[in-house]
Amino acid sequence: MTTPDPPPASLRLRIDAQALAENWRTLDRLSGTAEAGAAVKADGYGLGIDNVMPTLVRAGARQFFVAHWSEVPDVLAHVPGESIAVLHGVANEREAAFARATGVLPVINSMLQARVWHESGGGACHLMVDSGINRLGVEQQCMGDPAIRQLQVDTLMSHLASADEDTAQNARQLAVFREAAAQLDASRLSLANSAGIALGPDYRFDLTRPGLALYGGIPRGELAGHIRPVVQIEAAVLQVRDLSPGDPVGYNAIWHADKPTRAATISIGYADGILRSWGSGGALQHDGATLPIIGRVSMDMVIVDCTGTVLAEGDFCNLSYALPQASRISGLSQYELLTVLGQRFQRVVEQD
Ligand SMILES: *Cc1c(COP(=O)(O)O)cnc(C)c1O
């Protein structure tokens, strides 16, 4: 027996393909003489690899970054292996063999990884130098080590810890990266993530690596007005009811009606990425009306105050997901807001 197609979802994530393409082109332009790549790790920052890759490729992106080898097959369906870089690098022979078989380039992060790659046959790879984030990467002092010298480095990269802030750490990291670059013969240099692009021409080198801003995130004020929102959320009303003064709402009865109130139960919850922190101060919208979330966010539902509206079962409400504002309301970072989005959304790519 074949299962029929499920009915339309009660939860939708609309992805504006034009805004995504324009954001990439904007970041590529802001990168000056450098070329912009695209970070598509974590399933394209939660939007779905198959939803973002065709648009990014059509816009002109040629270099893609993922973190894990497990993310490679989905990206390989859209671009050749040499266009993909795996940020976590090669920890062992199995990973090196997979890199070789797919043509994907590892980002070598440690002396051990350099040896693993060399002993498995070597060839083109990328190299991460740690310029002060102290997370992943070879120490700058090791650039002259024979294990590093014998690598065939396509792109030498480093990663900024605080590019979204005005702090002296940025210039310090830039100086360390320049020293490393002077010691090594790499085809390309790459330092800037989304926020780094806005730090100015010194930070751009040959290749930039935007992620967040592609998907509508605004990590620095300079990017506001340039970056368009990409994501919209819509969730269906499951039920509407009238409350009397004193009636409690939701788990643990943390909210009570203080006057006659109309409440609607909406098909979105923390399992979808709308975490409990949205419960204090968050709201949905319908037809110009603001519908404050009342009571605790549940796994599959939130309850909103829809007093004075004509909201009815089956209507769809919007949850504004403009990332800077949503971040302030929820207390989650713009990165978290994207990557926590769950699997129950019907992800719809809108071409115009
Ligand atoms: C995730 C990541 C990026 C993208 O950073 P954004 O802040 O999302 O633009 C770039 N480089 C590295 C090494 C990363 O891990």
On whether the CB atoms of residues 41 and 65 are closer than 8 A, the answer is yes
Instruction: For residue 39, give the ligand 1 atom closest to its CA.
Output: 4
What is the predicted pLDDT for the residue at 9?
A: 96
In angstroms, the Cα distances linking 237 to 205, 243, 291, 304, 314 are: 50, 17, 12, 10, 5
pLDDT (tens digit, 0 to 9) for every residue of the chain, 352 residues total?
Answer: 789 999 999 999 999 999 999 999 999 999 999 999 999 999 999 999 999 999 999 999 999 999 999 999 999 999 999 999 999 999 999 999 999 999 999 999 999 999 999 999 999 999 999 999 999 999 999 999 999 999 999 999 999 999 999 999 999 999 999 999 999 999 999 999 999 999 999 999 999 999 999 999 999 999 999 999 999 999 999 999 999 999 999 999 999 999 999 999 999 999 999 999 999 899 999 999 999 999 999 999 999 999 999 999 999 999 999 999 999 999 999 999 999 999 999 999 999 8
Polymer length of the chain: 352
Annotated active-site positions, please?
Answer: 41, 251
Which residues have C-beta atoms less than 6 Å from ligand 1? Answer: 39, 41, 87, 159, 193-195, 209-212
Element holding 41 (H helix, E strand) = helix 41-45
Q: Whose CA is nearest to atom 12 of ligand 1?
A: 159
Instruction: Give buried/exposed letters for 195-214 (b at 16+ CB in 10 A, else e).
Output: bbbbbeeebbbbbbbbbbbb
- Dihedral of CA atoms 252, 332, 268, 250 in degrees, nearest 10, equals 10
Quick one: CATH architecture of 17-217? Answer: Alpha-Beta Barrel (3.20)
CATH number of 231-350: 2.40.37.10
Instruction: For residue 194, give the ligand 1 atom closest to its CA.
Output: 9
Domain boundaries, the chain: 17-217, 231-350
Helix intervals (H) in 46-167: 49-59, 72-76, 93-102, 111-119, 146-149
Nearest to 127 by CA among 209, 184, 68: 184
What is the predicted pLDDT for the residue at 352?
A: 80
| pTM of the predicted model over 0.75 | yes
**Cα–Cα distance, 19 to 16 (Å, whole number):** 5
> What one-character DSSP code corresponds to residue 321?
-
Identity of the amino acid at 138: V
Nearest to 40 by CA among 217, 209, 189, 229: 209
Instruction: For residue 87, give the ligand 1 atom closest to its CA.
Output: 13
Nearest to 206 by CA among 89, 21, 32, 60: 32
User: Residue 192 C-alpha to ligand 1 middle, in angstroms?
Assistant: 8
Mutate to test the pocket of ligand 1, among 63, 209, 338 (most ligand atoms within 8 A of CB): 209
**Cα–Cα distance, 205 to 190 (Å, whole number):** 6
Mutate to test the pocket of ligand 1, among 28, 65, 160, 164 (most ligand atoms within 8 A of CB): 65
